[in-house]
A and B are shown apart, each in its own frame.
Chain A
Amino acid sequence: KAGVTQTPRYLIKTRGQQVTLSCSPISGHRSVSWYQQTPGQGLQFLFEYFSETQRNKGNFPGRFSGRQFSNSRSEMNVSTLELGDSALYLCASSLETAATQYFGPGTRLTVL
């Protein structure tokens, strides 16, 4: 089985722009979670989608949003980028609730 894939792997944007990141889960997995990883804050939960519905959301501003499609692929969008949004964004998929999460390689976002 193919693992979790994320595109693009690297992204450079400027302040004020918006960005969309994509995640394709492992085949058959219906849950997709997003995390932000920074040296200062560590790994922080953004949100989780299950069967196209957002089930859980972390403590991030409304500039961070996401969605999930019927094929379980997920996208996250960050609008009005700030320098502090520079981070590694990790996507993880799992079969169902209370299941192990499997991570993608991440998208490295740099905001200039």
Chain B
Amino acid sequence: AQTVTQSQPEMSVQEAETVTLSCTYDTSENNYYLFWYKQPPSRQMILVIRQEAYKQQNATENRFSVNFQKAAKSFSLKISDSQLGDTAMYFCAFMSPNTGNQFYFGTGTSLTVIP
């Protein structure tokens, strides 16, 4: 079975600062994908970033980047130059084609950006 763990229920960061959200996962699969989704108070889940396990290079999307450590099964999200609009719940998710299209989500980290 696949499990995803987010050990930080709540975090806060000053506007313009950098923050890192942690995620670890457990799987016996070799072919899989990892995601970070953001869920603002409006509740629409939005894709932040995606990482293919076969790629060694860490994914980046503007101010968002990941630190993917496959051997350690760790997948952290770094948000640079934090903005007020980054305030949201962040979910780490795992998916493997070998287990269908099912996403396994962590319990989420509530991030507050302080002006």
Question: A interface vs B, CB < 8 Å?
Answer: 31, 33, 35, 42-43, 45, 48, 50, 55-56, 58, 88, 90, 92, 94, 97-106
Residues of B within 8 A of A101 (CB): 95, 101, 103
Residues of B within 8 A of A58 (CB): 102
Residues of A within 8 A of B104 (CB): 45
Residues of A within 8 A of B37 (CB): 103
Contact status B107-A45, CB under 8 Å: no
Interface-central residue, A48, A55, A103, by most chain B CB under 10 Å: A103
Contact status A55-B101, CB under 8 Å: yes
Q: How many A-B residue pairs have CB under 8 A?
A: 56
B34-46 contact mask (Cβ, 8 Å, vs A): 1 or 0:
0101000011111
B31: min CB distance to chain A, Å: 8
CB-contacts of B91-115 with A (<8 A): 91, 95, 97, 100-108
CB-contacts of B27-55 with A (<8 A): 33, 35, 37, 42-47, 50
Residues of A within 8 A of B95 (CB): 98, 101
Residues of B within 8 A of A94 (CB): 101
Residues of A within 8 A of B97 (CB): 97-98
**Extra 16 A-B pairs, beta carbons < 8 Å, given A50-B101, A58-B102, A101-B95:** A31-B101, A33-B102, A33-B103, A42-B108, A43-B103, A48-B101, A48-B102, A55-B100, A56-B102, A88-B43, A92-B45, A92-B103, A98-B97, A103-B37, A105-B42, A106-B44
Q: 13 A-B contacts, Cβ less than 8 Å apart?
A: A43-B103, A45-B104, A48-B100, A50-B101, A55-B101, A56-B102, A88-B43, A90-B45, A92-B103, A97-B97, A101-B95, A101-B101, A105-B44
